[in-house]
Amino acid sequence: MDAAEFRRRGKEMVDYVADYLENIEKRPVYPDLEPGYLRSLIPNEAPLEPESYEDIIKDVERVIMPGVTHWHSPYFFAYFPAASSYPAMVADMLCGAIGCIGFSWAASPACTELETVMLDWLGKMLQLPECFIAGTHGRGGGVIQGTASEATLISLLAARCKAVRRVQTINAKKSESEILSKLVAYTSDQAHSSVERAALIGAVMMRKVPTDNRYAVRREMLKKMVEEDKAAGLIPFYFCATLGTTPSCAFDHLTELGPLCNEENMWMHIDAAYAGSAFICPEFRPLLNGVEFADSFNFNPHKWLLVNFDCSAMWVKERADIIGHWQIPLGRRFRSLKMWFVFRMYGLKGLQAHIRKQVALAKEFESLVRADKRFEICAEVVLGLVCFRLKGSNELNQELLKRITKSREIHLVPCQLSGRFVLRFAICARTTESHHIQQAWQHITQLTFELLQEAI
Ligand code: PLP
């Protein structure tokens, strides 16, 4: 493919992408396939001779599309959203074209500098305390990670180094391995599995803090565990708080937990992977109160802020704490271009409107559920996630979800809350409108009707 063909094919691809997204709701949201479907559709080996572009593009519909779960369909309500917008996609093309591996300032100054400034822009949108903003007198700043999982791991590794250094300044004879074996990290019993994985990789103990009846960690619960561990000769050093837990979008009480972490010399990291985007709206910003006590804070613009995957924003209060490990890989893409294009083309007001619209859609779905006495809401609806279930056994709800998935008209995933099987309905696609919510609910009630008829 030379430049002339690239011009032609590139324009065709833009048309294909626009057609795909404009017509996505006509496709079944979830594939109807058995695992292993793809191997039989393509050769066992890479071609020896070049193939034509036409042949490849034909295979996109034949081989790929049947196996795609359409995350950007307005009938996709599973997991949490994966952000998508045209400005981000266009910027991603430019990122691919520049193709730099921005591991140092000299490796591509614009890559390093735009990233720093974009994280400041975003930090200011969230009204982060000044100490997190690089372009101030503070010692903090932001960096883009690939995922929230990486941000958690980096914060844990930084906290581990700091804790070892602190213990050794008091007792120089203590070896690093001796200290490491005594370090304890904490997180909520509702935290994402990536937090536990960070502790596994970081080779430190991690304890799960039980949550209250709203699935949030409170000060007393953490304090009790910390006291027990100190009495047993262990060294509490790290707490990962969650704002917007994966199962039910619960919020740990930062204003209680932050001071405790500061008193106990424990690093507090905040994982707000999904919910963080909402903090650009003044009405949701109070959920972030207490961030001033944190050492690091992270959320994924690639979930809910219209910046396509991957773009996970992380801030630290002290840049010095993570210098040496700003990130896990050496290489980094020019991801801040996506933020720059999106922030400029939507403006803060456009981004706020996106969040507010999706929260309103979740509230609309919540009202539909509440109006039907066969169902119950299982957790407070704060943002764009509704946890609900049929009043009845776990088996009944499992069967309902099985039928929903099999129908392929809408897509949801479950969670466990207090041992109960619960359906999660998350507002995901940028293009989801009220009529999609109404249609989804109609579909769920139709399947419910059939299920309950059979049960009689
Ligand atoms: N933390 C929370 C609260 C999440 O909900 C998720 C994913 O949904 C993650 C972390 C993991 O995110 P990532 O894929 O960016 O590592």
Query: Separation of 330 CA from ligand 1 center, angstroms?
Result: 22
pLDDT < 50 positions in the chain: none
Please state the atom number of ligand 1 nearest to the C-alpha of residue 244: 3
pLDDT at 160: 96
pLDDT at 329: 84
pLDDT at 456: 72
pLDDT at 327: 81
pLDDT at 104: 87
Query: Separation of 390 CA from ligand 1 center, angstroms?
Result: 27
Query: Separation of 392 CA from ligand 1 center, angstroms?
Result: 30
Please state the atom number of ligand 1 nearest to the C-alpha of residue 147: 15
Query: Separation of 13 CA from ligand 1 center, angstroms?
Result: 31
Measured distance CA(194)–CA(199) in Å, rounded: 9
Query: Separation of 149 CA from ligand 1 center, angstroms?
Result: 6
Furthest CA-CA distance within the chain: 72
- The full 3-state SS of 122-146, as one line of letters, equals HHHHCCCCHHHCCCCCCCCEEEEEC
Measured distance CA(295)–CA(132) in Å, rounded: 9
- Name the pTM for this structure: 0.95
pLDDT at 86: 98
Query: Separation of 92 CA from ligand 1 center, angstroms?
Result: 22
Measured distance CA(266)–CA(243) in Å, rounded: 18
pLDDT at 330: 86
pLDDT at 103: 87
Nearest CA to ligand 1 atom 12: 148
Element (H or E) spanning 228, and its range?
helix 219-231
pLDDT at 244: 98
Q: Report the half-sphere exposure of 89 (CA within 13 A, side-chain side).
A: 10
Question: Residue 219 is encoded by which pair of tokens?
Answer: 């000060």
Please state the atom number of ligand 1 nearest to the C-alpha of residue 80: 8
Please state the atom number of ligand 1 nearest to the C-alpha of residue 242: 3
Pocket around ligand 1: residues whose beta carbon is below 6 Å from it? 80, 147-149, 192, 194, 242, 244-246, 271, 273-274, 300, 312
Give, for ligand 1, the residue of 155, 249, 300 to mutate: max count of ligand atoms closer than 8 Å to Cβ. Answer: 300
pLDDT at 301: 98
Find where tokens 């040496």 sit: 324
Q: Looking at the chain, how many residues does it have? A: 456
Give, for ligand 1, the residue of 196, 245, 246, 287 to mutate: max count of ligand atoms closer than 8 Å to Cβ. Answer: 246
Nearest CA to ligand 1 atom 14: 147
For 253-287, the pLDDT digits (tens) are 999 999 999 999 999 999 999 999 999 999 999 99
Please state the atom number of ligand 1 nearest to the C-alpha of residue 275: 3
β-pairing, 420-426 with 385-390? Answer: antiparallel
pLDDT at 79: 97
For 131-189, the pLDDT digits (tens) are 999 988 889 999 999 999 999 999 999 999 999 999 999 998 999 999 999 999 999 99
pLDDT at 166: 94
